[in-house]
């Protein structure tokens, strides 16, 4: 039987499209795996909405905008071409790999070649390819928390052991080298580094990024740096690619990224990993036996996204920035909610700790899991409890939703908590 973790409790309370047949003996790796809690919250919010409930969903990690028209047009053109109806090489179309290498060379502090780039079915799949290619049974991977939900599960699927390093809002949700050093053992193979972060929106400054990269280089630790939100930074904040400020770490750095967030292309499923050629070849080999390649037409769309007009994506970034400020102000105005101001991605990760042990809407709130349940049932607002990210006491709200829903949703949260 699977362990009754908070994530499972969350998933169990949510409708699924399939019923798992308990008489079937599923493989241990699946029995022991947590379903994605963020997808579960999103699915429940969408199902309630479809059933006519006035639910506002803060759960989804995706832009509410359509994919920019020039990208859709490129996909339509590609779909007309018989060449697009065929397989591509396992690591992706050469022209796309070259374009990704060229664009990433601008931030990574060195010239990246197409041979280092392996396309995958989304950034999530790129990360899976990385863990599967790099980890042996028992290899430890340091994962700062709050973490994106898939890292620990993917690490475990690949036979690795996630070693979680907690961080708090007071510490800017940044792990320090001292903390990483305490977590290091002789089995430490890699560190997961994500900046801007999902779920906190925290962005590491260049000097801390450099310190962490230098620490990893000194100990021969691989860095898996998730750069999927690299363009989504706000105000004076700058995105720093770890290998650019810690060149000694570059030979053991793998960059994961994709088009989903920057170009409102979550449904197209195009991501990539950029790794030293030996690792890249390993990932391509894995992919050649598992998925063959990413959808050919989607690759054409991704090519247009990264090489075409960047105006629409910049306009979305500006909208997120505006909503970020609206969300922070509105949440900060609720008694007892403390808000760390995010400077990247499109999430805000407030602390609801002062509500734990209290009653909300006549219900005793012992955890943020309870709070999320009450908010959904009573206020019809879906957010993801911090337990899903290894950070109980907090909750994640995506602000990639319309201005009206944003204000209405946070107003409802405030009314329920203070009422």
Ligand X SMILES: Cc1ncc(COP(=O)(O)O)c(C=O)c1O
Dihedral angle over CA of 322, 328, 331, 332, nearest 10: -140
Q: What are 351's strand-pairing partners?
A: 338, 394
59 binds ligand X (CB under 6 A): no
152 binds ligand X (CB under 6 A): no
Of 355 and 389, nearer to ligand X (C-beta) is 389
Least distance CB 267 / ligand X (angstroms): 9
User: If you write DSSP's letter for every residue of 344-397 in order, what string do you get?
Assistant: BTTEE--B-GGGTTEEETTEEE-SHHHHHHHIIIII-EE-EEGGGGT-TTBEEE
User: Are the C-beta atoms of residues 271 and 228 closer than 8 Å to each other?
Assistant: yes
Of 225 and 296, nearer to ligand X (C-beta) is 225
Grouping H, G, I as helix, E, B as strand and the rest as coil, residue 194 is strand
124 binds ligand X (CB under 6 A): yes
As a whole number of angstroms, the distance between CA 366 and CA 184 comes to 33
Scanning residues 331 to 390, which ones bind ligand X (CB under 6 A)?
Answer: none
As a whole number of angstroms, the distance between CA 75 and CA 330 comes to 39
Taking CB under 6 A as the binding criterion, the range among 2-10, 85-93, 119-127, 348-356 that sits at the site for ligand X is: 119-127
Least distance CB 11 / ligand X (angstroms): 17
Taking CB under 6 A as the binding criterion, the range among 120-128, 206-214, 313-321, 382-390 that sits at the site for ligand X is: 120-128
Of 125 and 380, nearer to ligand X (C-beta) is 125
Scanning residues 229 to 258, which ones bind ligand X (CB under 6 A)?
Answer: 258
Question: Strand pairing of 271-274 and 253-258?
Answer: antiparallel
As a whole number of angstroms, the distance between CA 297 and CA 37 comes to 30
Size of interface with ligand X, in residues (CB under 6 A): 13
- Comparing every residue's Cβ against ligand X, the nearest one is 122
As a whole number of angstroms, the distance between CA 10 and CA 73 comes to 40
What mask of x and - would describe binding to ligand X in positions 191 to 230, judged by CB under 6 A?
---x---x---------------------------x-x--
Of 100 and 260, nearer to ligand X (C-beta) is 260
As a whole number of angstroms, the distance between CA 346 and CA 359 comes to 30
Q: Which positions ≥6 away from 39 have C-beta within 8 Å?
A: none
Of 122 and 386, nearer to ligand X (C-beta) is 122
260 binds ligand X (CB under 6 A): yes
Of 300 and 360, nearer to ligand X (C-beta) is 300
Residues that bind ligand X (CB under 6 A): 61, 122-124, 148, 194, 198, 226, 228, 258, 260, 266, 271
């Amino acid at each position: 039987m699977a362990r009754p973790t908070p994530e499972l409790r969350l998933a169990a309370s949510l409708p699924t499209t399939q019923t798992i047949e308990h008489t079937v003996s599923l493989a241990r790796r699946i029995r022991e795996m947590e379903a994605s809690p963020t997808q579960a919250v999103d699915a429940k919010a969408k199902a309630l909405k479809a059933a006519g409930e006035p639910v506002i969903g803060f759960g989804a990690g995706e832009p509410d905008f359509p994919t920019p028209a020039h990208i859709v047009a490129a996909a339509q053109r590609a779909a007309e071409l018989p060449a697009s109806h065929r397989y591509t090489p396992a690591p992706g179309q050469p022209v796309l790999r070259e374009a990704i290498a060229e664009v990433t060379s601008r931030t990574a502090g060195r010239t990246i070649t197409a041979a280092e780039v392996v396309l995958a079915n989304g950034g999530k799949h790129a990360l899976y390819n990385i863990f599967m290619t790099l980890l042996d049974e028992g290899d430890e991977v340091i994962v700062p928390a709050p973490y994106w939900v898939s890292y620990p599960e993917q690490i475990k699927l690949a036979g690795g052991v996630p070693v979680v390093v907690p961080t708090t809002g007071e510490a800017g949700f940044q792990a320090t080298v001292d903390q990483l050093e305490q977590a290091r053992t002789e089995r430490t193979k890699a560190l997961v580094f994500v900046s801007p972060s999902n779920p906190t929106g925290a962005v590491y400054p260049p000097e801390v990024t450099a310190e962490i990269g230098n620490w990893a280089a000194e100990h021969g630790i691989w860095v898996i740096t998730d750069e999927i939100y690299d363009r989504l930074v706000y105000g004076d904040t700058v995105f720093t690619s770890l290998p650019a400020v810690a060149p000694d770490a570059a030979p053991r750095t793998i960059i994961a990224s994709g088009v989903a967030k920057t170009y409102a292309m979550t449904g197209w499923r195009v991501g990539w990993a950029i790794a030293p050629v030996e690792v890249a070849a390993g990932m391509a080999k894995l992919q050649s036996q598992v998925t063959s390649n990413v959808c050919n037409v989607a690759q054409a769309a991704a090519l247009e996204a990264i090489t075409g007009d960047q105006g629409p994506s910049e306009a979305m970034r500006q909208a997120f920035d505006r909503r970020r400020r609206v969300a922070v102000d509105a949440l900060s105005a609720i008694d007892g909610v403390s808000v760390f101001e995010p400077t990247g991605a499109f999430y805000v990760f407030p602390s609801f700790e002062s509500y734990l042990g209290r009653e909300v809407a006549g219900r005793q709130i012992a955890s943020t899991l309870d709070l999320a349940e009450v908010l959904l049932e009573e206020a019809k607002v879906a957010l993801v409890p911090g337990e899903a990210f290894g950070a109980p006491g907090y909750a994640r709200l995506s602000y990639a939703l319309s201005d009206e829903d944003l204000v209405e949703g946070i107003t409802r949260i405030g009314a329920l908590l203070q009422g």
